[in-house]
Amino acid sequence: MPFTPKMTRPILTQRIPTPPYGNPKDRRVISYAAYTASGGYAGLRKAIAMSPDDVVNEVKNSQLRGRGGAGFPCGLKWTFLPKPDANGEGGPRYLAINADESEPGTFKDRLLMDFDPHLVLEGIAICCYACRIQTAYFYIRGEYHHQARVMENAIREAYEHGIFGGTGLFSGASTKNRDTPWKVECFLHRGAGAYICGEETGLLESLEGKRGWPRNKPPFPAIKGLFGKPTIINNVETLAHVPSIIENGAAWFGTMGCESSIKGAPPSYGTKLMGVSGHVERPGVFECDLGIPLRTLVEQYCGGMRKGKKYKGAIPGGVSMGILGPDQFDAELDFDIGRKYNVLGLGTAGPTIFDEDTDMVAVARNIARFFKHESCGQCTPCREGSGWLYQLLSRIEEGNAKSRDLDLALEIATSMGTMSGTTICGLADGNNWAVRTIMNKFRDEFEARVKPTFIPVGITLGGAGLGGTGLQTGVMV
């Protein structure tokens, strides 16, 4: 069935020319002046005329799901914060914005930071107002040097124009139900090259000036987070959706994206930034309805497969998600993808596409090396398992492995992760799903690379004790 887009105009990329709506050559960094001149900060203005609870409810009703990988309902997360006291306060509480974007194959938050920083800042301001938060930390990965400068500059502009700091949001405009304005501070905090700091509690540790070791949960950050205080953690793209939801209403958001095809499962509403990489003619970030089939994305947005080659497989959104096989090119990119196509999930919706010439054993080895490198070392199954998997896959790639190594690799992979209950964070699940699905969906490629295993079988000829000869033989499997 051909796919018909439901979005009629770009939302997140309304100021960032992106095909098919605009030409990337026309992209400019949107300044505060340009942002407000094109309707920016109207969502925040509307939000502060609403009660904080109404803002939370609007976001909740929109069914916006987190864009950082897990797809957790954003508004629902906001309600997990302890209720503020009668003054609308409740002691310090924090917002940490996750701009760590380090999952291989993921480069979508960067587009927003590169060109439309105020869209993200507006989302931050609205979240802080709604959740009664006065301090927000923008945690950006260390390698995003340019993006850190753009964001730093935009934050400075926002301070100068009375969005942050000073006497309160909008230079101390009074807010609904309260005569006192709501004041928000926003600080940029640079990471220093550690993928694990994208995991939300690793991020909090890093903000506290410690090594980025993920924490055991519970307690969840909404109760006990940064410096032990209630903390909300949201992805950049998630927050960038908030201004337009407040401006246009929850129902409007539901006109884009798709319903779930699984009974009782929540919908995948709204648009999504999809960063396509790998063997396509025109890779890049595109804004699409959730639910767009991978094939449509590749053929209609990316100019098809590179050099007319055939599609072989794709990682739906970051290497943690596992792989879509040759027969899954029509998979719909929405939050149901995990249950329907035997992958971990949609992840960051940044598909990496492989053509027919790709060596899938090398793909598995590359991913295994990444996880071995990035395991923080706290949990034994992850620290040791990631190393073993990398070694085994390297041996398979080099042709030095035996067929039983395939089962060993699968067994190690399967034993790792929060789902199997052996680790603190989801990094090991990613390792597990990536290796397991690649090996299972491309099993023949792996089998072709290994030597048969010789299993010795002892056979005794002649009666025991009658001087019979022991003979060694065996079977090849």
Partner 1 sequence: MAWITKNSAGMKVERRSEPYLTPAMRDELTRTVLPRYEQKQGALLPALHMIQHEYAWIPSQAMQEIAEFLGLKAADVLDAASFYEEYWLTPRGEHIISVCRSIACEFCDHKAVTEACKAKLGIEVGETTDDGTFTLIEIECLGSCGTAPAALVNEKLVENATAETISRAIDEARATPHHHNGRH
Contact set with partner 1 (CB under 8 A): 92, 101-107, 110, 141-146, 185, 187, 189-196, 206-212, 226-227, 229, 275-279, 283-285, 315, 319, 350, 352, 354, 358, 362-363, 366-367, 370, 372-377, 383
Residue 64 engages ligand SF4 in binding (rule: CB under 6 A): no
CA dist list (Å): 304 to 28, 283, 309: 27, 10, 9
- Which single residue is written with the structure tokens 């954003």? 74
CB-based contact 17:27 (threshold 8 Å): yes
Which range, of 61-69, 128-136, 156-164, 252-260, touches ligand FMN by CB under 6 A?
A: 61-69
Q: Applying CB under 6 A, which part among 53-61, 99-107, 180-188, 276-284 lies near ligand FMN?
A: 99-107
214 near ligand SF4 (CB under 6 A): yes
Partner interacting with residue 358 (select from ligand SF4, partner 1, ligand FMN, none; CB below 5-8 Å by kind): partner 1
> Least separation, in Å, of the C-beta of 103 and ligand SF4?
13
Q: Which helix (H) or strand (E) holds 97?
A: strand 94-99
CA nearest to 319, candidates 468, 427, 416: 427
Report the alpha-carbon distance of residue 164 to residue 161 in Å, rounded.
8
The contact mask relative to ligand SF4 for 169-198 (x = CB under 6 A, - = no) is: ---------------------------x--
Residue 423: which of ligand SF4, ligand FMN, partner 1, none does it interact with, CB under 5 to 8 A by kind?
A: ligand SF4
Please provide residue 7's backbone torsions phi and psi, each rounded to the nearest 5 degrees. Answer: -70, 140
Nearest to 125 by CA among 79, 66, 81, 184: 184
Q: Is 383 in the site for ligand SF4 (CB under 6 A)?
A: yes
Residue of 103, 157, 334, 405 interacting with ligand FMN (CB under 6 A): 103
Decide: helix, strand or coil at residue 300.
helix
Supply φ then ψ for residue 302, to 5 degrees: -105, 10
Q: Does 378 bind ligand SF4 (CB under 6 A)?
A: yes
Question: Would you say 254 and 290 are in contact if contact means Cβ atoms under 8 Å apart?
Answer: no
Of 356-375, binders to ligand SF4 (CB under 6 A) are 375
Least CB distance from residue 274 to partner 1, whole Å? 10
Mapping DSSP to helix (H, G, I), strand (E, B) and coil, where does residue 321 land?
helix
Q: Report the C-alpha dihedral over residues 423, 426, 430, 433, rounded to 10 degrees.
A: 70
Give the interface with ligand FMN as residue ranges (CB under 6 A). Answer: 66-70, 72, 74, 98, 100-103, 196, 198-200, 233-235, 238, 425-427
